[in-house]
Structure formats: C-alpha cells, structure tokens
Structure 1
C-alpha cells in the first residue's frame, strides 16, 4: 500500500534540518534526469543491426542494399567461412545491378508482431472495413498486407518511391482487387497532391473550405505510412524529416489540407522509437508546441506498439505519477475488454494489472514523491552482498565506500522529497480552504502569505525541482489528464529490435483527428488570420514557459495582460486546470495550460479591440527571436 498523508509537523521538522547549503550543486539534474534506458543508437549501421531472423528479413538482406564495413575479425577463419556461405546463399538470388535503394528505411518483418497489432486494435479498425487506403512507403509490404486482409478495402494505393526494388515484395498484394502501385513519394507534396485526385480516389470527395463535412469523421478513407529511418534523415534545419512531416500532418487537420480535405481522416504512422518524443511526450518537460497542437486537433493520439524500455531520455517523471498513469490505462483496457497479446506487456503494465487485481488505488500527490534511479538497484545489490559477506571491510573493500556513498545519496534524496511533498501539501490546503469555504478571506490571505514567505527562502535549484514536480502533478490531477499519453486507452505493445530490418525498434502511432475550434481554422489568405496568430502566440508564450501568465502576455504585446487576465476565468478555476493562489510561486505558467485554456485564450485575443495584426505579431516575434519558440524544429512549415 502507498504511504499515508504525513502530518505537517513531522515534515517541517525534517525540512528544517536540510539547509540550502546541504544540497549538492547537481541537485536539480539529479531530480529531473536519469540515465536513458536505451543506449544511444549508432549513426552507422553495423552487423549487429542486420540480423535476419525471419524469412522476410532474409529476403531484404539478400537484395544487397544494406551493407556494413567488414569487422576487425574479418581475417579469422570462422568469419571467412561464414561470409563465404553467405555469398553462396545470396548469389542464387538474381539481382539487377541497376537497382538501388535507400538503406536508411526500416521495415516491419515480424509476421507475429503484425498479427498481434491487428488483434489488439482490430476492433477500432472495423469501422474502416471496405474503405480506401492511402499507403505511403509500403516497402516490404508486411504491414500493408495485414491491413488489406483485415479491412478488405475497395481501393489500396501503394505510394512507393522505390517501386522497382519492392515490386517483388508486393507481388501478392498487387494481385488483390483494387490494389494499385504508384511509383511516387508520399513526402514530396507535389507527388502526394497528384494522387489526391478523382483519378486515384474516385469514391472520395474533397470538400470546399468552410464546409461542415470537413469537421466530420471520414471512416471511408484511411492513411498509413512508414517514416522509420535509420539513421535519421535530415532536411535543412530539421534533424529529422519524420518530425517535420508528422508536424505538417497534424497542422493539415486545422487547415483541412492533404488528406483532411476529405474530412477527418485517421492516420497510422510508423516511426523510429525516438521520433515521437516531442509530439507524444510522456512528461511535461517535453510538451512543446507540436504536442499542444496534437491535443487541440486530435481526439486520440496513441502509441500502439513501441520499445519495452520506455523513452530513451534523461528526464524522469515522479514514480507515483507513472504508476497512476499505467493503472488508469489498465482500468480503461479492462472496462473496454481489451486484451494484451501474450508476451507483449512491459513491466509497468504488469505491475498496474497486479495493483488493479489487488484493489490498490494510486492518487497522484497523496504520498511523498520518489524517483527511480539506476543507483537504487546497485545499492540494493551491494546491501545483499554486504549481508552475505557479514559486512564489507571498511578499510580494504572498495565496495564499502561505494555502498556508503550511495546510501548517503539516498538519505539526502529522501529528505529533499519530504520537502517537496510538504510544500505541495500546504499549497493544496490553501486551494481546498478556498474551495470549501472553511476559512475566512483573512485566514486565506495569511495562509498564502506564510506559504509565499516560506517558498521565497528556498534557493533557485530547490524551487526548480519543486516547480517541475508541481507542474507534472498538475497535469495528472485534471480530468481528463492534460497529455495524450496519460489519456491512452491501450498500453503500447512491447517490440523487439529483430522484428524490424534493420534491427531498429520502431513504434506505430495512431492519430484520430477531431473537429477543430473555428478560430484555429482561420489561416491563410481570405481569413482573419486567427489561426496563424494563435501559433505565434503559443510560440512566444512557450518560449518563456515557466514565467507567470501575466508576464508572458505582457511580453507578447503591451496591454494584452490587462485585457485578457480579468476575463480568462479558467486560469483561476481549479476544476478546469486553474490555480487561484495569491503568490508568484503558485502562478499558472504557459507550459501548464491545457488545450481548453489555450482555446479560451484565442477567443479572448480575438475579442481584444486593440490586438495587433498578424503582420505586426510576426515582426515582434522576429525582433525578439521567438519565432521558433519552444519547438525550434517546427518553426516553419516547409513544403518539400
């Protein structure tokens, strides 16, 4: 069971014994970061990335597209013999010397993984049976075949830029009725737009701007694409072309362009495991503009399958929040009757199911926070060995000093986490006193003043730790939670590297667009530019995302805060994600805003009689260097 709520007195006594100077200089990093769970992926393909464990992987290997440099042991007899066998085996496969291919592409090659995905999300795909499918980069064709077998589409367009290379792989699929191979690229907009025509999609109708049908779901069209590349493909200022294309696909929902000109069209997209971290973040620190836009434009945005080890990032969210998120997902899956395929669960899901069966409820913020650290496992093993050895020799055994050092760190973190909990507990008491009316206005002002004075005595590092903890907790306490990750209705299936060729773990993203706020659709010529202005507003405010809302609005344009703040009621309503505490340390900040609050901000902005024009906003953004804002990779939309 989780620890119960601790009394103020015991925690305050602990915090009084932790002076500012007792925290190491690396305290903020220690709280906010942890080691990545996956090793950094090599930029260059190695022989370890090219293990062919399925017949389809062997067929891809035999094309000769993927080659690696000979390892240093190339002169060893066993290695030479193996290479000779491989050349003999591949020489029987006829290859045209004129065929070239992109060896950065990654393909699904596991028939079992394809079947598991279809059985997992098959019920939600049933509404697309008999639809039209636009399939970008089908490549080896395994995923395309699985979708075709399930949905029996009336038409299936395969946009394959390397048609000559992959036609043998797609041969059986091309024999099915309605399937058509189009030798064009799906990420070159001129090629893609040439396919979005009655010639290729005779059953679909593009709706004019302003039509109500643009805001209705179109289940007769489904888009799937494979944008998994290793190494990442770069384009101009973008470190990953996949991120750029994903961002443009999401923006097309608001502009009703590309596929979304036929209505709200669902998209199933394969990417590398690390290409989704900015657009589908698992914690507040990574929630930038693209993530906020996906919350505004998508009914659901979920990860169907992915790495079992979590995101390979330094940031780490508080353990209780992670467990609560997994528990809620397990409950949603149980309520919906969703069954996890055998062998596909990760450790967090298994723990959540166990908690669910035992009736354990996890309430975010109800106990002292903790953070899983790699050194915890090391310390635990050292303690076990110390007991077995009846105590390490403190003078001669280096393990004793290592164990002592880790124990000191653990003790120090426990004290620090007690302080974080006490600060948040007192803030919660103020909010509850206001909501319940159990305290007079004078008493509430005294509580606010005391809390503010207490927080002001903390150093910048300690405040940074608390703000990060508070903001992540704020996201989880709302109903529904702010981020798509915490709203997910399925837990991602765990994949293995050798289920792809080359052996790079990938993930499948499932995006279902929703009706967009009318003002956010006002983009481009012949509009009031509300949507264009909104993106500039977001970039400006998120570039100073930890500043109070009133300061962010004042920096955006003079007079904006004076007009908007008094009328922006949701930022003070705790039921809608607001905070109503008179202290700069408790103020709502831009990065804490949920999608409904962003929409309300846009409404108020357009009501402001003295708002600047779109052109003036662009000029100010460029002068202040905030055009790119929080997601610098997505500063502009570029057509390839």
Structure 2
C-alpha cells in the first residue's frame, strides 16, 4: 500500500464483526495445518457434513486466515439458521468460485446478498467511508446520509460532471434534510438514534466496516459516545477492494438487460467524488448558516471574540460542518477532470454568486475575515493531510485555484468597501436622488454602475440568489451593460464620457430619468439589461443621424449566438445557409408588461362599459380542461415548427467566401501540380465551396465526399456531384471504424497499402489527397480533449507514425480546416507553446504550414494582447525574411490584400532579403501592450484635461515607470545573452582545437567563464533569471545550424499564411487551414504496440515526462524518468552538447533545457535509452511514471488502469 493510505485512513489490524457475532480478525498468513486447526476449533459442532465442509474450507483458504475466519462465521450463522450441510457446500462454491479463494470474491458475495435498495444505500455509505479525506464519526455520517438523500430528492440526478456539480440551487435547510428521510432511498434507515443507525450500518455493510475510538485500536480511550466514534474499513483489503477492485461495481447492478457492462471502477469513483463535492457545497450553503459573520462589522476585540464564539457554536451544532470546511478543497480536486482541468469560470461564478456569500462563509469558518482572507493563506489552512498531494505542481490545479480565489477575494473586498452588503433601500434612494440633483448623469450611468453606489443598488434591487442554470444575476447584468460593445466603441480608454464631445450624442438628464425609472421598476435581470441597452443605443456614434432623429427605423439586428459570434451573411452562400433556418434562433417569447408601482387606477364607468361581458354557464370542468389543453397545444405547435426545420448540425462552420478559396488555390498552385489526377477525399465538406475549388485545382480521377448531413447539404453539393467521378457517402469520416470500412480496394482500386515494418520507410504518395473541415462552434468536448478537432488532429499525427488510416497508403498530404484558436497547439510560434503534440508533429512531418488564418500581428498603434507579445520583434522579422526567401524559390506569390502585418513591416523597413537580420539588435517595431493607453493619457495631460491625484493621473505615472523599466530590463537581458554567447564561443574554440593540450587549456578557460557567469546569474531575481533563460531559448530555436533548420514548424514554414476575415466563414468564427505533409519518421518511433520493441511507446512516456517542466534542464527531467538515466545515457547523446548540431555544452544553470531539444537530439536520446544496459522494462517504466504522476494514488482514489492514459490520450500529456 502507498504512503497515501496512512494519511487518508489509518487502517489498523484489528477485529472484524460479522453479521451475527464477534470473530476477531487477525493478520494472514498461516500454514495449511494452522488453518485446519483454526477451522476445526471454531466451526460449530452441529454443522452438517462438518468434516467435508472443514476440509473444503481449508483447501480453498490458501493460507489466508482472514478468509477462513469470515467464512467460518458465515457457515456457523447459516447452520444456526437451519441450513443443511449440502446447501452450505454449494454456498462455499459461490463464495470461492476459484480453486484458491480470494477475499474479493468473498466481499462481493457478501454484498450480493443485499436487495437492490440496500445495495444503493450501501453504495452511499461506502462513498463516504472509503473516499472521505479523513475518517468520519458516526454522527457525521448520519448527517451526510441525510444530506445525500435531500440532494437526491431535490435534484433527482444520478451522475454529475465538473460543470453541473457546481450549479448549486437555492440552499437546502435542516428541514429539507429531515423531510428527505421520506425519500425512497431512505426507506429503512434509522436516523433517530446512533445505536440503531450503527446496527443498520453493520447489516448494510455486511461487516465490512467497524467503529473505532479516537485513540485508535490500542487506545485506552474506550468510553467515547457511540456517535463520536470513527467509522473505518474493517481491514486494509476492504479498502483495496473498493479503491482498486470491484467493490463499487458490486453495489452497482445492471439497470436493465440491454446494458452490456457496468461502469468502470474509475468512473464510479469519479461520480462518487462528485456526489461528495455536491454534498459539501450544499451543506456549506445551508440557510441556517446565513447568520454567520453578519453581526458587529467594526473591528473590535468584542467582535473578534464574538466571531470565534460563533464559529465554535456552529461547528458544535452541525456535525458535518467541520469536515466540510476543512476538506472542501480535497473534494473539489479529487475528480480527475477537476484535478487536471479545473472549471475556473464555473468555480468563480459559484463563489461570487449572491454577494460572494459562499466564499465569505467558508473563509469565516476557517477563521478569516474578509480583509485578511488572502487566497494563499486560505488554501494553506484548507490543504492539510491528503489535500496537499492534490495541489502538487504536476496537476497545475493550485495555480488555477489561487487564480480563481484571488479574483473572488478581490470581488468580496470591493463589495465590502462599496457597501453592497449593508444599507437599506431608503438610504440608497436618498443617495441616488442627491446624485441626480448634483452629479453628471453620464457619471451616474456608466463609470460606477457596478461599483456599489446608491444608483447601482437602486437599479439592481435587493440581493437575489444567483441561479446557476440561468448563469446570471443582477450584478452580472450590470457588469454586462458597462462592458457593452457600444460603450467600448464609443468612448476610448482614458477619456471621460462627461466631456462636451459626448453631450451631443443625446446623453442628457432628460433621457436618463425615464430610463432610471424603467430599470428600477423592472422585475427581472433581463428587463433591467434591456432597459440599459435601450438607453445606451441613443448615444451610439455608429448610428446614422437619420435613425437618431427618427427619420428611419432601427435596422434589424444581426442574428447572434454566443458572446462574440454573429451569423452575418456577407456572401451569397452564407445567405443561403442562413435562409435554411438551421442557424435561426427561435423567436423570443412575447414580453409581459412591466409591473407598475402603486395601486392600479380605479376604473371609470366608461372603462366598465368597454369590458366584454363574462360568459355564463361555463362549467368548472371545462375551465380545467381548457387550461390542461393549452400547454399541450403550444407544445404540439412547437414540435411541428421544429419538425419543419431542416435537420443538420448547427455547430458546423462553412467556408463561404469565393474570393478566399480562389486566393488559396492560386497561392498553392505550385504544390497542387504533383496531385493532378489523384484520388481526392473530402471529409465534412459541408456546403462544398472549398472542395469544389480544390477539385478544380487538382482535377482528381475520383472524388469521395464523406458527409454525415448529406440530406441537408445535397442542394449545395449538387454542382460538385454532377461532375464525373464524384460520389457522396452519408458517413462521418472521423469515426475510424467507419473510415476503415471505406478505405478498401473497392472504393480506391488504385491505392496500395505500404509495409508496416518499422525498418521500411513509407514512400510519399501524391496520388491521394485528403481534406477535412473540423471547424465547429461551440466546440465539442471529448474526454480530456476540449474539442473533437483537436482529438482528430492528434490521432492523424499518430497515424503518420504507425501507417494507419489514410497513411497506410504512404505519406499522404492532408489539408485541415480547424478553429483559428486551435492552430497554436500544432504550430506554436514561441518556445512557451511548444508542447507534446507540436514535437510529435515536428518528428513525423516534413512541414505543418498555415495556409490561411487570422493575423495576430496587428498594426502599430493598436493595442495587443499580452500573450501575443512573447517573442522579440527581430526574431519575427528574421523568421519572415527566411520565409520570403523560400517563397521566392518556390514560386509563391501572395494575392492582393492577404499579406500579414509582419510582411508589411518588413517591406516598410526596406531590409534586403539576402542579408540576415541581427537577432541581438533590439527592434521594437510594434507597440507594447499598453502603448495606446499611454499615448491617450499623455494627450489628455498635454491638453490640461487630466486632473491631479485622479485615477487617470496615477495610471499615467505607473505606465511611465513600467515602460521605462521594461526598456531597461530588455537591454539587461540581451547583455546577459551576449555573455552567454561568449561562453558558447569559448566552448566552440575548444572543440576546434587541433591538439589535445590546446583543447584542454581552452576547455578549462571556458569552464572558468561559465562558473563566473553562473555565480553572477544566481544573484539575479528569479523573475530576471527566468527572463534571461527564456530569451536564450527563444533565440536558440531559430539559431540552429543551416543543415538542421529552425526547430519550430512555424519558423520552417514554406510560405506566409494568408489573412482571413470572420465573415469569410458562416457562422462568423475565424478558421485556419493547415497543410500537413508527412515524412518517414525514425524506425524507433514506428515500433509501437504488441510484438515490437515498444520503443515508440517508450518515447511517448519519455516525452510526457520531459515536458512536465518544459523550462527545466535536461538532466533534471531525464532523472525523473528513471534514477540515473542522465548519467547512464548522456555519453551516447553527443548532439546535446555539440553546438554544430544545435546543442549547448554548458552544464550549469544555463544548460540545455527540454523545450529547445531538436529532432536529432530527441531521436538520439531515445536510441541511447534503448541501448542503456540498466533500462527498465516497458511495464516498469509505465508503473513508475504512473506513480509519479498520481502522487499517491491511494489518497486520491486513482486506479492503476489510469496509467494507460499516459500513452497519449490523457490529461497528463502536455499538449
């Protein structure tokens, strides 16, 4: 057992209680004679066929006394119940179906005797006892059972996922927990008495659980009340049975005969962890805890004492509360998906909902006030015991969790300072009236709308519970209004909307007051947001004057889905797709009249006369029937409308710009010449515009379309289907089972499969061309992959190594459309983004080039994202210069209007293409991320419109200091890199020395320089040290020997990508076209799977381990693979230290890092590892790396089978 078991459950070797009596459990193992003596002594004398039963038990026990003890108790109990010896003999065969008995079979047999309802109840009990972060007391388990039943009664769910588990409904109460006992799952559970509850636990667990005092099995403290004793598994094997065996599966019967298999242990444990997390969040949100921390807001000694008394009273009054508060983080991170992919947005919404009430309550019970609830301190206090292992750096969860908690803390602080949590509505209305009298309406409306002033609180109304199903509350709507696109487009950053130039846009108090009345009287958040947006449209500068003056009507709004995606039909094909109604959003329900304040006006006689007379004689039964039929008729009409709509996948993105596809085919015409007359396969062609253009470019002999929505796209594809040799199959080309059935000689008679022998390199096959459109919005998740397109690309790269799928016919070129934001996974532009998928692509492809994409290098004067400024400008210029040379040699000419900004900048600088650009000379041709804001504030200062001591003035000073410091640091960083280059030159001189004596002398001088350099480098701050290493690595990627070429696929691109616009696609989501040309990889990489040396599988493990910390040195990461790996293989990897092969000879802090290893070095490392005499077996390597990644799987409930995921499909992979 791993050490994690001790931290989770301190399992003791102690007694076991069966159903009927008390038989102490001792520890195995014993000889066969001792087992026989034990059975003969303990077996009841009146058992029928005693000798035969005793002999059979002794033979099947296999020396395991625990099995003998438990089975002896079962046999004695059966005999006392009048069961004959013949029946007992058959029962033994059921208990031990194999020749040698197994405890797992015994445990499963005991649990099988429970009824289905009892098995479900036992499942709930075992969830808490086996998977809890620490042993639970009996009273705590009693409360936990009530809580689970209440959640089941309210939610009616059986399974959860990382998103749904955080969607907490309005809080439960103790009354709900009491009434939940009437739930069908609570039948027969005695919850009124700990004594009766414990007896029920004994029966429902079939003796697999025991009670233990706080001091442990050998403790002198034995007079603890029953409710304060701890529940534990009766033996360590019980823990193994549920954690790694089929314990939970034994309690999960098949729901029906059609289901072929029970869920795996890992799936059941994950779902159980979700249940425990749901229970913890629900318990912490109980209505009875609302009073905590609300009294005496001033910071006094009396308040502190009062708060401490409140905490103690709450912990004593609610048995499960202490466990929930201490172990909330543990259960949040225990599910594997949460551990590796923490749902940050949903977690942030959960903690900030309803004025951050959950965050305030949790930190308050941990002993923190709002002011001192620093996320790191909170996390440290809530991360004791097993939780520490979940926060290990290998998972990355700690960083994401602190990031979320820091934002929550900041929100809570701002709410406290702005008074959102205090004050009544009358005071708020008074403050609002004063602001309306004295302040600018623009200041009232926009800058402080989410700030908590009187106006805000009047608009937002009283606190409301944030429903996670609706995903918004009044505060969210207010923030949405402030961040409205109209506001961002109208008011540049750094300017005040109270300036005179904005007054002419209609922003005045006369139009503001009606808007305020509408917002204040709105009864729903949507109504408030609608009123805010209606007012904001009045001063939108993009609106024509004719519309502002009322001469023309407002234009029809664009069809929109999602925060940034429009369905704008700027092309004829897009218009046809929009008219198909697949992407049409259902019309909203008619709005109800807003509720009016005060009593309705009295009706006049004229009003009474106008009212229609009431119908008489209508029976009450008819009224009831009419009310029942009304929703049925509406539902029927809705179903008819939906049935009339064409059926197709509305998440698909289609290329709709004829100009774009024409530019692409013209651009790539030199590469299409070798594919003339080939076989063409189009996967997910959709509307077929791109596939028709590609068909015209290569003129294939056969063209197969694989389109699952063939019925819908048939009219769009008809011009293509009318051509010779074009066929369509209503199949999904990304379901590999279907694809393998399609890739047959019947469909492709001219294609021949190549040899799969790793030693025989596959030839290039230009007679087959594949194109795919994997672009979707919203993205489709699949297991650990955030989108299906990412999964398919990963599997296509793997198929190039194993010669499967399309690649079984040779090295087949593939053109793939993917969402633009996913291309960086396969074609990274910086060393920071170079991950496993990118490295595998470098090793298996001749090139992976972007044909077209959005331009992420923007024009000067426009602010850019911080993530876009990771590489120095001179590196991007040199990379573009080399690319333009390759384009000139290959005959590629950029179509008009498709040039990227970096190419335009290079042309403006008029630098000769034949002369390399100095990488050590700093060139800042693009603005810093804050340059636009800086210039705006400087202009305001020059015009005298910047007040002293204002927020804008403070911001300007900070930007000045920031830019000055940034420039100085950039100069310092390159100075350190120059010193590094001098040391590299010294090592190079030593390598070029002609005599051994001269070589030793120069080598000693180089080592002295390196030692002095390291000593001075260590004195830098960790941030500066990291920047120096990062800059060195960025330069090293492109400063490779000419025969090797640059390391990144991006820097080896054969052409510059063409720029695209969002409206070139429908829906308007930018996409990128990738061109992938495979190559013959190393034979070692191709040897994978059964019957091979497993070198390809071993490389996957090596690469995953090396990339755990990409900025670490090679020595450190190789020793993570297996102790002594670096020293054992480094002498056989000469390229790592050879500058002529892209290596770095330094050994200290500036030694070669993992993220700059080139293809040659990767293959040499694998070759040396395979030849290492002390190389572990593949199974040992899998086991070790799985243990390292699990970080104590016993405590985290990770099954051993999870190690299979490390082969390339798990979240453990860094890609």
TM-score bracket, normalised by the shorter chain, equals 0.7 to 0.9
Distance 1:633 1:117, change over 3 A: farther
How many Å apart are 1:399 and its aligned residue?
5.0
SS of the aligned residue for 2:816 comes to strand
SS of the aligned residue for 1:302 comes to strand
SS of the aligned residue for 1:363 comes to coil
How many Å apart are 1:155 and its aligned residue?
0.5
- Which of the numbers 1103, 1123, 1139 marks the counterpart of 1:558? 1123
Q: Which residue matches 1:521? A: 1086
How many Å apart are 1:608 and its aligned residue?
1.1
Contact 2:686 2:713 in 1 (8 A): yes
Contact 1:218 1:265 in 2 (8 A): yes
Contact 1:43 1:230 in 2 (8 A): no
How many Å apart are 1:634 and its aligned residue?
6.3
Distance 1:63 1:432, change over 3 A: same
Whole-Å Cα distance in 2 between the matches of residues 574 and 321 of structure 1? 20
1:473-622 counterparts in 2 under 5 A? 473-479=1035-1041, 480-583=1045-1148, 585-622=1149-1186
Q: Which residue matches 2:714? A: 167
Contact 1:274 1:312 in 2 (8 A): no
Residues 313-365 of structure 1, C-alpha deviations (whole Å, 9 max, x = no match): 72522222222222222232233332110011121111123345556742223
1:419-434 counterparts in 2 under 5 A? 419-434=972-987
Q: Which residue matches 1:156? A: 703
Contact 2:682 2:772 in 1 (8 A): yes
1:387-398 counterparts in 2 under 5 A? 389=943, 395=948
Relative contact order, higher structure (CA 8 A, sep 6+): 1
Distance 1:442 1:181, change over 3 A: closer
Q: Which residue matches 2:570? A: 53
Whole-Å Cα distance in 1 between the matches of residues 811 and 910 of structure 2? 35
- Which of the numbers 247, 259, 273 marks the counterpart of 2:794? 247
Work out whether 1:461 is the aligned partner of 2:1023.
Answer: yes
How many Å apart are 1:383 and its aligned residue?
3.8
Distance 1:334 1:355, change over 3 A: farther
SS of the aligned residue for 1:222 comes to strand
Q: Which residue matches 1:403? A: 956
Distance 1:340 1:532, change over 3 A: same
Distance 1:423 1:191, change over 3 A: same
Work out whether 1:624 is the aligned partner of 2:1188.
Answer: yes
Residues 419-455 of structure 1, C-alpha deviations (whole Å, 9 max, x = no match): 2112111111111122135983443233112111111
Gaps of 5+ in 2: 1-487, 489-558, 593-640, 858-863, 994-1000, 1191-1202
1:215-226 counterparts in 2 under 5 A? 215-226=762-773
Contact 1:327 1:353 in 2 (8 A): no
Work out whether 1:415 is the aligned partner of 2:962.
Answer: no
Q: Which residue matches 1:62? A: 579
Work out whether 1:350 is the aligned partner of 2:904.
Answer: yes
1:73-472 counterparts in 2 under 5 A? 97=644, 99-210=646-757, 215-309=762-856, 314=867, 316-357=870-911, 361-367=916-922, 372-383=927-938, 386=941, 389=943, 395=948, 399-437=952-990, 440-472=1002-1034
SS of the aligned residue for 2:716 comes to coil
Whole-Å Cα distance in 1 between the matches of residues 917 and 1031 of structure 2? 17
Contact 2:779 2:788 in 1 (8 A): yes
Whole-Å Cα distance in 2 between the matches of residues 249 and 188 of structure 1? 12
How many Å apart are 1:199 and its aligned residue?
1.4
Contact 1:266 1:512 in 2 (8 A): yes
Whole-Å Cα distance in 2 between the matches of residues 198 and 611 of structure 1? 43
TM-score normalized by structure 2?
A: 0.45
Residues 582-625 of structure 1, C-alpha deviations (whole Å, 9 max, x = no match): 42x11112222111110111111111122112211111121111
How many Å apart are 1:202 and its aligned residue?
1.1
Segment drifting more, 103-112 vs 305-314: 305-314
Residues 617-637 of structure 1, C-alpha deviations (whole Å, 9 max, x = no match): 11112111176779986658x
1:15-26 counterparts in 2 under 5 A? none
Residues 438-484 of structure 1, C-alpha deviations (whole Å, 9 max, x = no match): 98344323311211111111122222222222211111111311000
Contact 1:289 1:630 in 2 (8 A): no
Residues 231-285 of structure 1, C-alpha deviations (whole Å, 9 max, x = no match): 1111122111111110100010000000100000000000000111111111111
Residues 361-410 of structure 1, C-alpha deviations (whole Å, 9 max, x = no match): 422234488985221232234445555x3x66663776544333211111
Distance 1:180 1:354, change over 3 A: same
Distance 1:312 1:490, change over 3 A: farther
Whole-Å Cα distance in 2 between the matches of residues 270 and 250 of structure 1? 15
Whole-Å Cα distance in 2 between the matches of residues 490 and 356 of structure 1? 19
Segment drifting more, 612-621 vs 161-170: 612-621
Distance 1:385 1:325, change over 3 A: farther
Whole-Å Cα distance in 1 between the matches of residues 1171 and 771 of structure 2? 40
SS of the aligned residue for 1:625 comes to helix
Distance 1:368 1:161, change over 3 A: closer
Whole-Å Cα distance in 2 between the matches of residues 260 and 630 of structure 1? 20
Contact 1:317 1:472 in 2 (8 A): yes
Contact 2:1105 2:1121 in 1 (8 A): yes
Distance 1:562 1:432, change over 3 A: same
Q: Which residue matches 2:430? A: none
Higher helix share: 2
Segment drifting more, 354-363 vs 194-203: 354-363
Whole-Å Cα distance in 2 between the matches of residues 243 and 456 of structure 1? 40
Cα RMSD (Å) of the superposition? 3.0
Whole-Å Cα distance in 2 between the matches of residues 213 and 440 of structure 1? 45
Whole-Å Cα distance in 1 between the matches of residues 720 and 922 of structure 2? 55
TM-score normalized by structure 1?
A: 0.84
Q: Which residue matches 2:224? A: none
Contact 1:327 1:356 in 2 (8 A): no
Residues 91-138 of structure 1, C-alpha deviations (whole Å, 9 max, x = no match): xxx998373111110000000000000000111011001000111000
Contact 2:651 2:776 in 1 (8 A): yes
Distance 1:635 1:409, change over 3 A: closer
